[in-house]
Amino acid sequence: MSNRVLISLATAAVLAALSPASSLAQLADSTITSRDSTAVVSPSTPKPAPTSKTTYLVPELEDAGYRITRGPERFAHRVGFSPAYGRLGDNELFAFRINYSPNTWLGYEASLGHNPADGLHALLHTFNVIVRKPLPGRFQPYGTLGYGMLTVYPGQALNADAVTKNALTYGGGMEIYIRDDVAVRGEMRGASVIGQELNQQSAVVYDYREYTIGFAFYRNLGS
C-alpha cells in the first residue's frame, strides 16, 4: 500500500475520533447558554405595595371608633373650638368660639359672632363661663353666662362709624358627642344689649334671642 493511501486513512481516522468530542463541546456550550438566558429572563418576585395608614393626632383614638369615655375626666384639662351658624334676632349669625375647661364642671369661652343685615351689620364678642354636670352618656347639657360688647356698623362697610353697646348673655345648650373629641352642639342664648335712646339719659335694655348649631372639636391636654 502506498504511502499516500496510508496518510489518507490516518487522516480520516483522526477526524472520526475528534468529531464526537466537538459535538459534545457544542452541546455543553448550548446548555450553558440556555441556562444563562433563563436566569436573565426569569422575572423577580414583585414586592408587596406598602399599605397606607392614617396618623392620628390623638393616638388614643386610633382604635376608639365612635366609643366615648364614660367618666367625667374627659371634660377636664381640654381646649376646644366651635364654628356655628344660626340666628340673632331676625338675621343670620355666624359664630366662632374657643374654650378651655380647667376641670370637669367649669369652662371659659371667648366668642365672636357676625350678624349681617340689610341696612347694617353687627359684631357680638363675649366672654362666657360654661357650667356643666357631666353625665355618663353622649348627651351633655350645660349652662352659660357672659358679658361682652355689641358693635353695630351702619351699612356693609367695616370702616363705617360704629356704635358699641354693652351686652349680657345667658342661656344653655346641648352637646351630642360622636366620640370624645367631636360633638354636635346646639345652643340658645339671650342677649341683653344695654343702650341709650336719643336725647335721654336713662339706659334702655334691648333683648335679643340667639340660636346656633354647629360642631365642637376638643383636644385633651392631659392631667
How far apart are the C-alpha atoms of 112 and 96, rounded to whole Å?
A: 5
* Residue 115 and residue 211 in contact, taking contact as beta carbons nearer than 8 Å: no
Please indicate whether residue 118 or residue 191 has the higher confidence score (pLDDT).
191
Please tell me the distance from the alpha carbon of residue 140 to that of residue 104, in angstroms, as a whole number.
Answer: 12
Cell numbers for 135:
353625665
Question: What is the overall mean pLDDT for the chain?
Answer: 80
Ramachandran category for residue 199: left, alpha or beta (phi over 0 → left; psi -120 to 50 → alpha): left
Confidence of residue 146 (pLDDT cuts 50, 70, 90): very high
| Model confidence pLDDT, tens digit, residues 149-179 | 999 888 766 566 788 999 999 999 999 999 9
φ and ψ at 213, to 5 degrees?
-140, 145
Q: What is the grid cell recorded at 34?
A: 440556555
Q: Which residues of 65-86 are buried (b: 16+ CB within 10 A; e: fewer)?
A: eeebeeeeebbbebebebebeb
With H, G, I as helix, E, B as strand and everything else as coil, classify residue 191.
strand
Q: Label residue 71 by pLDDT band (50, 70, 90).
A: confident
